[in-house]
Amino acid sequence: MFTRRTLFKNIINVSAGMALTPSLRSFAATRPVFALTLGKAEPVKIPSNFIGLGYEMSSVATPDLLSAANDRYVRLVKGIGPEGVLRVGGIVADYTRYEASGKAMAEPKDTVITRERLDQFNGFLKKIGWSTIWSVNFAQGTLDDAVKEARAVASVLGPRLLALEIGNEVENYAHGNNAFRKAPYTYENYRSEYNKWHDAILKAVPGVRFAAPDTAGSVEWVERMAKDANGDVQLLTTHYYRGGQKQGSAEQLLYPNPRLRNSLERLRAAANTSGIPWRMCETNSFSGGGLPTVSDTFLGALWTLDFMLLLATSGCAGVNIETGVNQLGFVSSYSPIQDDGKGDNRAGIPYYGMLAFAEARQGCTEAMPIDVPEPAANITAYALGSGGKVHSAVLINRGESDLHLSVTGIGLTRPYATRLLAPSISSTTDVTFGGAAVDESGHWAATKIDRVHGADVLLPKMSAVVLGCSFDRYLA
């Protein structure tokens, strides 16, 4: 059993260098120290419900999955934050209908949500303390059906319904062999339909909030939605994947996508100008379920952590990391929470990236970028805090060399270090955060937190560290 006494013993007796291998201990005296400094950009607010998970609509229809009685799943979700957002929709929303007293079905292209399953989902949300974004079938459903569904969802979920989405990846409705709309399907076509659906649903459910346009990746449609919004959208939404599964590679997760920063700048500008927050409501590494042996490895965990922090410093109001059974009917390799289809849920490797993010933002309401010197270009670093004061920092090394870093310039002296480690970048097992793995019951608690002497931090290649993380809750 890990006790208060053993934790203090680890903290007092183990420095960052001593906690690592002999080779790492020796390089501290010989390798150059790269100094990190706080960026000049103004701190960015992090909403309390920033963290989130994304699900296909079929997950709600699955018996005993998103249920208050599923203790392991409840612990896994609560383990990444006391507050957050579950977004349910995805491509399966285009093949879903609500039948209050019907027979529940959870098939990729034939999903039926019943009142019983809606009640089950509500119980789950109550248990975890999170809210939800709910998608109605704009692709093939009727407006009358959408109004009935919206009434039921709002009635059952009440204040846990953050917003309704009208459609999923709407700019692609005229694409593919089984297109939902005739080409060309322009933004003007979509906006005309959206207005009609929005007004009818709002009349039936006064006060309900809307998230839109929920594009597959079109920033232009988000910008136009923000520009011509007339009180008919309260949350701007879009999706992001690093690329498609078939074209994916490990190298793509090693370095930030150069195109992504431009998109984030445009989305932030649209939100700032319109006063409407924007959320990355569906995202992960590679579309199509992720890339096996890449998305489900330690590299996937480091990418998830880095990506979430990048969004936080870019003014994003929240991020829903896609998980669970995808639109093709199998569990995605990128899933933070794995599912064997028989009720056995466990932490996937990307979960550790979300866990590290959650630990770093404990007690923090702002995110700030950290400047990294050019010789340490494979490092990405972020600071978190409140009132302009840094409380924690996250350093991620996806390079091929161990590094010796100074954090004096970011306002951290003698911090505690909680390390995200694995045997190798391709590891699919033996990943630990704070010396511990998530156990079979879905519970995690650190067993090793290093004391950083002075302000120098040793950061091994292909690893990450959270500095300044609070550890009081491990002392009970």
Residues 183 and 282 in one domain: yes
Helix orientation angle between 258-274 and 219-227, rounded to the nearest 10 degrees: 10
Which tens digits make up the pLDDT trace of 28-68? 554 668 999 999 889 999 999 999 999 999 999 999 999 99
Residues 236 and 133 in one domain: yes
| CB neighbour list of residue 17: distance below 8 Å, 6 or more residues apart | 24, 25, 28, 458
Residues 151 and 266 in one domain: yes
Distance CA 356, CA 302 (A): 9
Select from 333, 360, 387 the last residue of a domain: 360
Structural domain range at position 306: 47-360
Residues 374 and 253 in one domain: no
Residues 178 and 306 in one domain: yes
Residues 279 and 305 in one domain: yes
Residues 279 and 401 in one domain: no
- Which CATH number does the domain housing residue 281 bear? 3.20.20.80
Whole-prediction pTM value?
0.93
Residues 393 and 343 in one domain: no
Buried b (16+ CB within 10 A) or exposed e, 114-144: bbebbebbbbbbebbebbbbbbbbbbebeee
Distance CA 139, CA 293 (A): 34
Residues 430 and 407 in one domain: yes
Buried b (16+ CB within 10 A) or exposed e, 450-470: bbbeebbbbbbebbbbbbbbe
Select from 328, 360, 392 the last residue of a domain: 360
Nearest to 367 by CA among 385, 381, 354, 380: 385
pLDDT in tens, the chain (476 residues): 334 344 334 433 333 333 454 444 554 554 668 999 999 889 999 999 999 999 999 999 999 999 999 999 999 999 999 999 999 999 999 999 999 999 999 999 999 999 999 999 999 999 999 999 999 999 999 999 999 999 999 999 999 999 999 999 999 999 998 999 999 999 999 999 999 999 999 999 999 999 999 999 999 999 999 999 999 999 999 999 998 888 899 999 998 888 999 999 999 999 999 999 999 999 999 999 999 999 999 999 999 999 999 999 999 999 999 999 999 888 899 999 998 877 789 999 999 999 999 999 999 999 998 999 887 778 999 999 999 999 999 999 999 899 999 998 998 877 899 999 999 999 999 999 999 999 999 999 999 998 887 778 999 999 999 999 555 544 43
Residues 224 and 270 in one domain: yes
Residues 406 and 350 in one domain: no
Give the count of domains, the chain: 2
Distance CA 90, CA 430 (A): 31
Indicate the helix (H) or strand (E) that contains 27.
helix 22-27
Which tens digits make up the pLDDT trace of 69-100? 999 999 999 999 999 999 999 999 999 999 99
Residues 223 and 311 in one domain: yes
- Which CATH number does the domain housing residue 405 bear? 2.60.40.1180
Select from 300, 327, 360 the last residue of a domain: 360
